[in-house]
Amino acid sequence: MKIEQAYEGSIERKIYSSDQIAATIDRLAARIAADFTGQPLLLLGVLKGALFVVADLSRAVGRVSGGPSEITVDFLCVSSYGNATRSSGEVRVLKDTGEMVTGRNVVVVEDIIDNGLTLDYLRGLLEERKPAVLRTCVLFDKPYHRQADVRLDYVGLQCPDEFVVGYGLDYQELFRNLPYLAQLKPWVFSS
């Protein structure tokens, strides 16, 4: 049985299809590639959610003619949700970068921005390391509960004020591997 079929009974509605997400990734890649033409670039994904975004974005940036001279990918892992559906507001670094950031062109890649606290914390942490350029890229923007005024350089799609899953976003570590963005049925949270 395909995983999508296994999850089908839990999905209230699809918000963005895999084709819409792919087109958005291509649009973001074109903008990033234009901004870093002929320069090396470090895409720094925020795990676990940005895994799929970084994989697809790095390939898309690499396909753009005249883009960066080289692309390096690295990850850091933070936690602010635990098993909840809302961020706790406390950001913990669980895994730091493996690559040096100092003097490099860095684009921090997030799956979603909600209250902005995680990205605000990461910008501060990374700015202390003195990158040459530090930009942010977020696939899904959910601005309804923003608590931090964080600068977003590359923004993909507006997300509804719902708890969403798929394309890296999870509920209790499930649903990340769906190729689309979806809203869960309310009963899923009570089971």
Question: pLDDT of 112-130, one tens digit each?
Answer: 999 899 899 999 999 999 9
Q: Which residues lie closer than 8 Å to 53 by C-beta, 6 or more apart?
A: 25, 45, 109, 110, 111, 139, 167, 168
pLDDT for position 1 = 46
pLDDT for position 185 = 85
Find the length of the chain.
191
Does residue 190 form part of some domain? Answer: no
Does residue 54 form part of some domain? Answer: yes
User: In which residue ranges of the chain is pLDDT below 50?
Assistant: 1, 85
DSSP string, 55-78: HHHHHHHHHSTT--SEEEEEEEEE
Does residue 130 form part of some domain? Answer: yes
pLDDT for position 81 = 55
Are 76 and 46 in contact by the 8 Å Cβ rule? The answer is yes
pLDDT for position 60 = 95
- Residue 170 catalytic? no
Does residue 15 form part of some domain? Answer: yes
Counting Cα atoms < 13 Å in the Cβ hemisphere of 94 gives 12
Provide the number of structural domains found in the chain: 1
Does residue 89 form part of some domain? Answer: yes
Structural domain for 14, as ranges: 3-185
Please state the pTM of the whole predicted model: 0.89
Residue 113: CATH number of its domain: 3.40.50.2020
DSSP 145: G
What's the gap between Cα 155 and its chain centre? 10
Q: Which is catalytic among the residues 56, 114, 120, 141?
A: 114
